[in-house]
Structure 1
């Protein structure tokens, strides 16, 4: 009996050059996270079964890269920018096969650049930046992990201030928690405590009690650390 492969082929059409291509995706039956970090980074016993590696679709013809969350809408001038900044400079590369973590990092950087040129919502950009930070965490690259955690935090804050997370899968409770947790991880203690407190204040009307409990745990840990440091 033939063994089922980890990945399958997905047909895509590039929104920029309109050419068709086929890219790899991970079969959901193989996705089993062993545990999650406190910022929701999934950890897999087998690194090859990490769906983050295949989160981005990169057109091999022009380099345009996006996640499934990207809007199909291109603001005025965005297509021209992507053509001039990405497609015209594209050196043909194929990210459509089974991906290494290094190849995946390249696809995220392309998607972040495309999302910036396309003026994607802050909540979408935050998701890209934090996923890239997680990949760097898996690679034990602390400097780049911190860089992209900070960029993601900035986007989550912008998303909250502009309300552009409304209508997405990210609730108010979750965005407060993420701002608090990314602030904690980037050593911005005062801001972390502020946003963890906001999560706890939502306890009577939130439908996510697990997040409330996680925020309490982080808040308590930070208070204990502050007391220890003071002594």
Structure 2
């Protein structure tokens, strides 16, 4: 008799820091149903439980080193010592390899961001961890925390853009500029947001992502409308 396929499976991982082998839960892609995306690319899934965002981070149960597939595999020896002092020495062995709640997932992202900072990962990688943390807080309606992590992500994304640190990653310049603008807009930093949106629109002829250029124009129109409304209300 064939056993029914479950949405979850175990993936074998080797810790980049201590080389311990462990298994962590992942979701089979065929069970993942995306309803759509929000304006900052946050995926909206049909099921809260079958949300791959919850399982993005691998946490070593032995030393606490946490990473995603975006991390580079090599750790400079001096930074390995740093990780040992700042993470492993304080680590109480615990297992995040099972099914995770949103709170569990948030802890794993915070751990991965901390590890990424110590390991000196790319700014674009750290920014992605902060943004996904913000999305998880959004699901649980914790607006203050969501805003805090959007702010952290914005700083890292801007740094990444200014230092060309995103080059050679899956993030294109068009998408990065749009994302910075959108995150600034969500923090009511309208003037700064407009500055980044206009960069997307100025460079549209160089872009191979017409959909993102279109999204930038949409945001631009929305912001112009709300600016007009504010002006009229102010004059009324």
Q: TM-score, normalised by structure 2?
A: 0.96
Q: Output the aligned Cα RMSD.
A: 0.9
In the other structure, the counterpart of 1:131 is 132
In the other structure, the counterpart of 2:219 is 218
User: 3-state SS of the aligned residue for 2:179?
Assistant: helix
Instruction: Say how many residue pairs are matched.
Output: 231
In the other structure, the counterpart of 2:25 is 24
Gaps spanning 5+ residues in structure 2: where?
none
Q: Distance in 2 between matches of 1:27 and 1:138?
A: 22
User: 3-state SS of the aligned residue for 1:77?
Assistant: helix
Gaps spanning 5+ residues in structure 1: where?
none
Q: Is the 2:17–2:75 Cα contact (8 Å) retained in structure 1? A: no
Instruction: Tell me if 1:47 matches 2:48.
Output: yes
Instruction: Give structure 1 regions of 4+ aligned residues with deviation exceeding 3 angstroms.
Output: none
Q: Is the 1:9–1:23 Cα contact (8 Å) retained in structure 2? A: yes
Cα offset, 1:76, TM superposition: 4.8
Q: Distance in 2 between matches of 1:215 and 1:179?
A: 11
Q: Is the 2:16–2:74 Cα contact (8 Å) retained in structure 1? A: no
Q: Is the 1:75–1:119 Cα contact (8 Å) retained in structure 2? A: no
Q: Distance in 2 between matches of 1:67 and 1:6?
A: 20
Q: Distance in 2 between matches of 1:195 and 1:32?
A: 32
Q: Distance in 2 between matches of 1:54 and 1:125?
A: 17
User: 3-state SS of the aligned residue for 1:200?
Assistant: helix
After TM superposition, the structure 1 stretch with the greater mean CA deviation from structure 2, 195-204 or 52-61, is: 195-204
In the other structure, the counterpart of 1:200 is 201
1:66-215 maps to which residues of 2 (within 5 A)?
66-215=67-216
1:54-104 Cα shifts (integer Å, max 9, x gaps): 000000011100000001122352111110111110011110011111111
Q: TM-score, normalised by structure 1?
A: 0.98
Cα offset, 1:35, TM superposition: 1.2
1:84-125 Cα shifts (integer Å, max 9, x gaps): 111110011110011111111110010011001111110100
